[in-house]
Amino acid sequence: MATPPKKTPPKSPRRKRRVSKWRVFLVTFGSAFTLACIALLIYALYAVAGTPDWHPDTLTNQKQTSFIYDMGEKQIAELHATEDRQMVASSEIPDLVKKTFVAVEDKRFYDHFGVDPIRIVGSLIADIKSQSFREGASTITMQLANNAFIENPREKTLVRKIQQAALAIQLEREYTKDEILTFYLNRIFFGESSFGIQAAAKTYFGHELSELTPDEIALLARLPQAPSAYNPYYHPETAKERRNIVLGVMKAAGLITPEEYTQYLEAPFTHVENVKANRAESEKPTFSGADYAYPYFVDHVIEELINEHGLNEDQIYNGGLRIYTTVDTKIQAAAEKEFANAKNFPQSVDETPVQGAMTVLDPSTGAIRALVGGRDHSTARGLNRATQAYRQPGSTVKPLVVYAPAMEKGGFFPGTVLDDMPVKYNAGNGKVWAPTNYDTEYAGWRGLISMRFAVQNSVNIYAVKLMNIIGVEYSWNFGKNNLGLPLEENDKVLSLALGTNHVSTLDMASAYGVFAYNGVRATPHAIVKVLDSSGKEIITPTIKVERTMKETSAYLMNSMLRSVVTSGTGTRAQVGNWAVAGKTGTTSLDPDIYGYRTGNPDAWFAGYTPNYVGVVWMGYDKDDETLTHYLRQVYGGGFPAQIWKNVMTVAHDGLTVQTEFKRPAGIVSGSYDTKSGLLPSSLTPKDFVRTEIAAQGNFPTQVSDIWVEKEIDKDHPAYLAGTGTVNKEKKVFLNITGRDPETPWPSDEKPFQMPKEEYNATPPPTETTTPPLGDAGIPVPIPGIVVYDASQQTAMLPVTYPAGSEGHTLTIYVKFPDQDFIQTYSTQHEISEEIRIPLSVDGESPSPGEYRFWVSLVNSEGVAGNPSEGASLSITD
């Protein structure tokens, strides 16, 4: 029988377990923490993924300030764009500087791996307590990473912090602590456009990093935290307060003694105060743009680096270059002083100043010793008139394109004679060019003159005629190729002889330097060498020194240009006993624009000694519609020559005086006729015989034929002796043909002007005939009572002269009793109050009878006036 199944008793309901709240909290917090960590890791990975690329060169190839040095390798200028950065090696940074920055910025610097966890925690706690995020946790390595590699280093975000940390760790793996600290000190910003500890030392204290004192180091250690707030130029009290806090840190770290701490607490900001006192227009110094000594010279150095050596502005301003130049600061300072003196310039017609420029060269090397491009310098690399203002040189170009080419071509010497008389040339297009001299209108023409005289007195006609003889092409080529003048094709015209081309003072100084250096030309330059930031020489200019004209030709130019300074238009340029040669020059107003106004746009003086050559230009930059901006009675021998003299006096101070230019072999000398340029003849008057020099082979060998001897009618000296002339006299004349008969001869030649025709005597007058009438405009003298001196057989005739008789000579007419005509007895050389008239004829005693006497005056042109009333004398046996 089957057993019935057992009945299971019914189960009671199961109780639910009670979950602990703590466990819930832990599970929830753990989950959230895990998720946060995952999120943070993802965020960190995201941030690290955006970390800027690693470029180690960024640390070494930074923008660095470039330095310029003078000829003595003394620093004169710093060049930088918006940053003044001056790199220094670790060994150049004082140990106290390094330790102070570590103590202030990152005291566990030498212990952490680029990130300081302790500092991070401490900063976080401080931020929580202050409920702000002011505390930074960046180490020196993180700051370096931020400054060097982060595009916007001032942006404060968590992403930036993570990226800084990543870069800092990488920096610590690549470099030593000392290298990192050196990079940091060379990069951080100290305010006032100064980047790096060296630039900051100069900016705030005016000296080198190695010369910093503890109080100065303390200020610099605090500045990077807030360069503007702690700037002593603007906030001296705040700067002092923060500096003293750092002094306390230094004392606590054992870097300075308590005594030093007390000593430096009240230290003044001496350099800052001096800068502020000397800059009336600004309280802060500016370290970019035009704020450097000798600005025009430095500007030219920059242009030379760009235009001749191929550097760009970034390389120049940010490349940390060491640029060694040719400037002599003694001469440069003297030149700037003269250009700053208003007394050295004429008064302007309005507010627009008369400008000027000057260049000084060492002719033996081509080195530019001084360069001034204007009376002020308001804009960096603005108009530098010494090198960029191309003006017409006027007569200063004559030695370069006329006289030197003639000497070099041969066949000419300083005594070569040409005729300074009116001349006309075909100017093309049916036009005629008739050049004149600057003083012809009031001084007249000079006639036959030598080359030396023409150079000395800046005679235009001579220069034009000589260029026409030697050829415009030859002159142009010599000026351009031998002397380096920037001549253009359109300058290849005859007016080039008068300076219608365009040049700068640098161009002219270089060209004149060939004369000073005895015919050798050296490439003009301002740069000696350039080193890069590592000290490697990257630029060494190639200076070409070559002979471009014969030594004898150069010496002859030196001799003639010496005459300009000793007795010509440039006498104001004499410097003590120094041998000084030079040339003045002015340009003329364009008559098509200015009409008949007198004045000149440009005034020049080019001068040199055996040691230096200098050129000065003066004038307005430009004229406007008022047509008033031109010089008035200002010439090269005036203001420009005076500036030249003042600068050169300083330049030659202390040098051994050289009274002569070196005379080479091949120079000969001898006497010559100054009216023919040939050897004197027996007829050459002694007043026209001079001694002159020449290159061997170019002194004349032909005897002068310009003087001729002719007979004149002694009674009528304005005429040659003619048929029937009884009273004749031989006289020497100049045999000159081809002159315009309407043009007056110069005063030294007029006495030798040959009469035009013979005197043809008229039939003897009757006894009743009086002397011929003359020019009624000439004063008539009054004869007195005639007295006879029997012992001398002479008549003594007193004469009274009316006003206006000065400058005249006296002619005497006599009627002898035994003659039936009136005789022109004598022409006196000068008027006298008593005239003695010999009455004896051929040794015979005077015939008895009545003698009649008349007198008349003769002017300087040989024209006689009306005769006087007659005076009588009776002689008995």
In this predicted model, what pLDDT tens digit does every residue of 421-466 receive, in sequence order? 999 998 777 789 999 988 887 788 999 999 999 999 999 999 999 9
Instruction: Determine whether 97 is exposed, middle or buried from the number of CB atoms within 10 Å of its CB (0-12, 13-18, 19+).
Output: buried
**Cα separation, 662 vs 552, whole angstroms:** 10
Q: What is the mean pLDDT of residues 118-129?
A: 59
Tell me which H or E stretch contains 242: helix 236-252
Question: Average pLDDT, whole number, for the chain?
Answer: 85
C-alpha R_g of the chain: 48
pLDDT for position 19: 57
Secondary structure element (H or E) that encloses residue 197, with its range: helix 197-205
Identify the pLDDT of residue 385: 94
List the structure tokens of 81: 């764009």
pLDDT score recorded for residue 132? 46
**84 pLDDT more than 80:** no
Alpha-carbon distances of 725 from 591, 711, 713, 720, 864, rounded to whole Å: 54, 10, 6, 9, 19
- Model confidence over 555-607: pLDDT tens digits? 999 999 999 999 999 999 999 999 999 999 999 998 889 988 888 999 999 99
| pLDDT for 271 | 87
Checking if the pLDDT of 616 tops 70, the result is: yes
Residue 53's contacts (CB-CB under 8 Å, 6 or more residues apart) are none
Q: Is the pLDDT of residue 319 over 90?
A: no
Residue 91: active-site member: no
Instruction: Give the bridge partners for 800, in sequence order.
Output: 782
Question: How far, in Å, CA of 356 to CA of 617, rounded?
Answer: 5
Q: Which residue intervals of 364-409 are DSSP H helices? A: 385-388, 398, 404-409
Contacts for 360 with CB less than 8 Å, ≥ 6 apart? 331, 335, 368, 369, 370, 371, 509, 612, 613, 614, 647, 648, 651
Q: How confident is the model at residue 48 (pLDDT cuts 50, 70, 90)?
A: very low
Name residue, tokens 């061997």. 696
**Cα(790)–Cα(769) distance, integer angstroms:** 28
Which of 30-39, 251-260, 371-380 is least confident? 30-39
Please tell me which of 76-85, 337-346, 775-784, 816-825 the model is most confident about, judged by mean pLDDT.
337-346
The H or E element spanning position 34 is helix 21-49
State the catalytic residue, choosing from 83, 105, 172, 192: 105
Determine which one of 138, 193, 194, 395 is catalytic: 395
Using alpha carbons, list the distances in angstroms from residue 813 to 708, 827, 855: 31, 9, 6
Residue 145 has pLDDT above 60, yes or no: yes
Provide the strand spans (E) within 217-329. 322-325
Contact 456, 569 (CB under 8 A): yes
pLDDT-derived band at 124 (thresholds 50, 70, 90) equals: low
Enumerate the H helices of 325-445 as residue ranges: 329-340, 385-388, 398, 404-409, 440-443
- As a whole number, mean pLDDT of residues 274-295 equals 54
What is the rounded distance in angstroms from the CA atom of residue 111 to the CA atom of residue 177?
A: 10
729 is catalytic: no
Polymer length in residues for the chain: 877
Contact, 674 vs 454, CB < 8 A? no
708-756 per-position pLDDT tens digit: 999 988 877 888 888 777 788 899 999 998 898 889 999 999 999 998 7
Whole-angstrom distance, CA of residue 718 vs CA of residue 362: 59
Q: Which two tokens stand for residue 40?
A: 């943070």
Token digits for 180?
């990192």
Higher pLDDT, 48 or 344: 344
pLDDT confidence band for 11 (50 / 70 / 90): low
Query: Given this model, what pLDDT does residue 285 score?
Result: 34
Pick the range with the lowest mean pLDDT from 34-38, 264-268, 370-374: 34-38
Q: What is the pLDDT of residue 687?
A: 95
* Rounded CA separation 165/142 (Å): 6
pTM: 0.68
Q: Rounded to whole angstroms, how far apart are CA atoms 826 and 81?
A: 91
pLDDT beyond 90 at 520 = yes
Mean pLDDT across 333-339: 96
Predicted confidence band at 32 (pLDDT cuts at 50, 70, 90)? low
Cβ pair 853, 877 in contact under 8 A: no
The pLDDT of residue 706 is above 50 = yes
Question: Positive or negative, the Cα torsion across 301, 307, 310, 312?
Answer: positive
| Whether the predicted pLDDT of 379 surpasses 90 | no
pLDDT confidence tier of residue 27, bands split at 50, 70 and 90: low
Higher pLDDT, residue 53 or 544: 544
Q: Per the structure block, which two tokens stand in for 492?
A: 């290849």
What pLDDT is attached to residue 792?
85
- Which residue did the predictor score with more confidence, 632 or 285? 632
pLDDT at 393: 97
Cα separation, 554 vs 399, in Å, equals 10
> Is pLDDT at 127 greater than 80 in this prediction?
no
Closest CA to 555 of 676, 404, 440, 658: 404
- The pLDDT, as a whole number, for residue 51 is 46
Q: Count CB neighbours of 90 within 10 A.
A: 14
